[in-house]
Structures are given as structure tokens and as C-alpha cells.
Amino acid sequence: MTEGSVALEGVTKRYGTETVVAGVSLAIAPGEFFTLLGPSGSGKTTTLSMLAGFVMADEGRVMLGGQDMTHVPPRGRGLGMVFQNYAIFPHLNVAENVAFPLTVKRAPKAEIAARVAEALEMVKLTGFETRYARQLSGGQQQRVALARAIVAHPRIVLMDEPLGALDKNLRYHMQVEIKEISRRLGMTVIYVTHDQEEALTMSDRIAIMERGRIAQMGPPREVYENPDSSFVAAFLGEANLLPARRDGQAVAGPGGARFQAGAGALASAEGLLFIRPEKVTISAAAAGEGANTLPGQVRHTSFLGNVVRYAVEVPEGAVVLCDAANGAGAVLHAPGDPVRLNWRAEDCRLLAA
Ligand code: ADP
Ligand code: MG
């Protein structure tokens, strides 16, 4: 079944002399929840707009459901859409807003009524049919936009920062809801966000964009654990990136300390040794030496409740962040304490600077 499949083949967009999307290729399977993640200006919205047909690609092809849609206008693409600034119509009430994609297609009245009721039930807005935008909270308006996007049962839905305007709790609630609805309807979702946590929790796969290109693409855990570049490492969560260079089959780090790195992890001869704070173990300095260890001194501690974050100064002035679970019997280290850090070879990688 190719109905819900999406592909971009070498898609490029230029504005004047600036190339804002540079030869992007990707293939998304029917029913997949796929996220474009990246900093502001990296080309996420432009990529989504080319899928939607609002922006024409200068080069490359846009394939939807196995068909070449590169030159088909937005109406002919049969997509559902939720955009952050694609507000609901103020002169229409909730039911009329949600019905809109069906009324423009002149669907039979009875069918429209049934579909609208179903969509409102899914976003938990049954009973709000006759309200107008000004009588709804931001979260409720966003749900109306979501109901409008799914009312025609599109196989593919595009969402551009749909939760950007909502506060943290509501955002989390809506994330769960969007995920649940997309699963229930078996829709392919292409989701845009600059929020890494949102991307990690919601996606089957994430493409991280950097200046108009896909820097890396893969399941959340894979890109988080095995970033190919310091850009991806630093964008997707906290990362320690220590000056280091290749030394035979090992890595030389701060103060000449030697590290073993995971298989295939010596991506560069000279660069940055990558290790996530939660993969670093901290212990009292007296604890034994060994592979992949660094001596240091605690500079700062942040008590985050379930986790204690240590900033530890290591040789040559570098600072390593270490997250220690505040579990039963956890021993806390205080600022000034000498400590020893260590980590497993498979958890660190030498990345190009
Ligand atoms: P993102 O959604 O990742 O923040 P955009 O796709 O909106 O990024 O923009 C990517 C780049 O393209 C930005 O530098 C932006 O200024 C530029 N850009 C977007 N739309 C236009 C336009 N219509 N004309 C000129 N430049 C544009
Ligand atoms: Mg954008």
C-alpha cells in the first residue's frame, strides 16, 4: 500500500542567491510519524511547504502516495494540514470550521455532519459546536485546527509547530492526543518542531536539519545515542564535547587521558569526544583508575529532584557535565570534592569538530 507514502527526491529551493533547502531526499512509509527537527531558519517550513504545494521546488520531485505531485496545486494533493499560524476562521463557528474541507468539496450534508461529530469527538470538543474562536482558549483553538485537518480522513497530515503557542502542560497533553489520533486513523504524519524533547517522544523517525540539509535521520534513540556530528549531538539534548584526537585505536583527551571509543566511533582524526551526561559515572576520587576515566573536581551541583547534575572540572580546564540518578542511597558530592569520572567505550564517540 503506497497510499500514505511520501518521498522527496533531491528537492531544492532558492530565494535569490540563498539556497534554503539544498537537495533534500527522504522516503516516509505509510503510517509513519516523521519529524523534521532543527533550529530556526534551517528550512523546515520551506520543506513542508513544498510537500503541501504552497512553495514550488526549483529542483527535484515531490511524490505523494507513489504519484509525482511536484506540479499539482495544494488542493489537488489531498493533505491535512495544521500550521502554527494557520488560525481557525474567526467568522465561522467550531462546527463550520471543522466542516470546511468537506463543504468546499460539496460533500453531502449528512456525511459532513457525521464526519464533523466524529472529528470533534476525537479532539474532545463535543458540545463546542456553536462557539467562535474568541470564545475558545488557545489549546481549544488548536484542537479545532486538528479536527479540521483530519475531518476528511487524509492519508497524510502535515503539521508545522502546531503546539508552539501552548504552555508546557497543555503541550504534553496535545502531544499524546495527536499521537493517539494519528495511530487510530493510521495517518502518515510529517511533523515540524524545533523542540528536541517533543521530537524524541513523538516520532518514529527524526530528520535533523542544518542549513537546508538533513544532517542525520533515524529513530529517536539512534540519533540521540549515535550522533554523526557535533551539531546533531549538541542540538539533540545535552552533550559533553571534549577536545580530543585519535591516538592509534584509542582517543587522547584532556590531560593526555586515553579513551577507548565504541566500534565505528572514530569518525575523525581530530575533533571532539562526545559523551552524554547521563552516561558519565561519578565516584569519589579514591575509587580505582581504569579505562575511560578522568580525574576532576566538582565545580557546581544542580539538584533537579530525580537527578543531580554535576559540573566537573577536568584537566586543561574542560568541564564535563554528569547526571547522577538521585536513587535510593545515592551519595552526593559537594563543590570542591575531588572525583573520578568514567564511562563505557560504547557510549562515547570521536566526532569532527
Ligand atoms: P524554519 O522553518 O526551519 O525556521 P524556513 O524554512 O522558514 O526555516 O526558512 C529557511 C530560510 O529561508 C530562512 O533563512 C528564511 O529567512 C528563508 N526564507 C523562507 N521563506 C522565504 C521567502 N519567501 N523569501 C525569502 N527567504 C525566505
Ligand atoms: Mg518554520
Give the atom of ligand 1 at the shortest distance from the alpha carbon of 40: 4
Which domains, from first to last, does the chain contain? Answer: 6-225 (3.40.50.300), 238-352 (2.40.50.100)
Cell of 200: 524524541
Cα–Cα dist 109/66, whole Å:
32
Model pLDDT for residues 16-40, shown as the tens digit of each residue: 999 999 999 999 999 999 999 999 9
Q: How many helices (H) and strands (E) does the chain have?
A: 8, 20
Looking at 123-167, list the stretches that DSSP marks H as alpha helix, in order from N- to C-terminal side.
138-150
Q: Is the CB of 45 under 6 A from ligand 1?
A: yes
Q: Please, are residues 36 and 48 in contact by the beta-carbon 8 Å criterion?
A: yes
pLDDT tens digits, 109-141: 999 999 999 999 988 899 999 999 889 988 899
For residues 80 and 152, the answer to whether their CB atoms sit within 8 Å is yes
15 Cβ closer than 6 Å to some ligand 1 atom: yes
Express each pLDDT in 195-230 by its tens digit: 999 999 999 999 999 999 999 999 999 999 999 999
Cross-strand partners of 80: 157
Pocket test for ligand 1, best of 8, 18, 20, 54 (most atoms within 8 A of CB): 20
Q: Please give the Cα distance from 203 to 282 (Å, whole number).
A: 32
DSSP at 57: -
Q: Residue 149, Cβ neighbours under 10 Å: how many?
A: 27
Is-contact 207 222, C-beta < 8 A?
no
User: Is 101 near ligand 1, meaning CB less than 6 Å away?
Assistant: no
**Could you tell me the pTM of the whole model?**
0.90
Ligand 2 centroid – CA 116 distance (Å):
29
